[in-house]
Amino acid sequence: MASRRDRRGRGLRGSLAPPGLPVTRSRAEQFDELVLLSVSRLERLWSSQLDAIEIGVEDAPDPDALPELPTAAAADRVPLGRTDEAVSGRPARIVVYRRAVEARARGQRARESLVHAVVVERLAELLGLDPDAVDPDAADPDGES
């Protein structure tokens, strides 16, 4: 059988790595794993409370739901997450905003730390506790969420 010539100079197509390796996951999938890692760190202490809470990831907050801020302050005040109380059969929910976290955190370690800080802060809000009581080891690298 004759080899086929690549007429358009495209070379190899597709991924060189087998599926399932970290290099083949999208940024959104990697971010989802950071959120799951954060929740797994908290499950040891808060498993019964976490069972009643949905954890989700959204790309960005709804611009219509954001408070009106002056233009200069608005860029610094995009929330990193949201907490929804339980309502009529729907469980309480914690949402982490992927693009807001990625914009503030430079590098993988900073992103992981910031995701965990957001999850801890939002869980503390739902439980009515101080974030230090939820996870004393979590440091808020940005000072806000």
Distances from the Cα of 17 to the Cα of 14, 23, 40, 122, angstroms:
9, 7, 28, 37
User: Class for domain 26-61+78-134, per CATH?
Assistant: alpha beta
Task: State how far the Cα of 115 lies from the Cα of 36, in Å rounded to an integer.
Answer: 10
Angle at 141 between CA 25 and CA 21, to 5 degrees: 15
Which residues, including other chains, have CB under 8 Å from residue 87's CB and lie 6 or more apart? none
Phi/psi of residue 111, nearest 5 degrees = -65, -45
* Res 118 pLDDT > 90: yes
pLDDT at residue 56 in the model? 95
Q: Over pLDDT 90: what percentage of the chain? A: 54
* pLDDT tens-place string over residues 29-87: 999 999 999 999 999 889 999 999 999 999 998 887 776 655 555 556 789 999 999 99
Task: State how far the Cα of 145 lies from the Cα of 61, in Å rounded to an integer.
Answer: 12
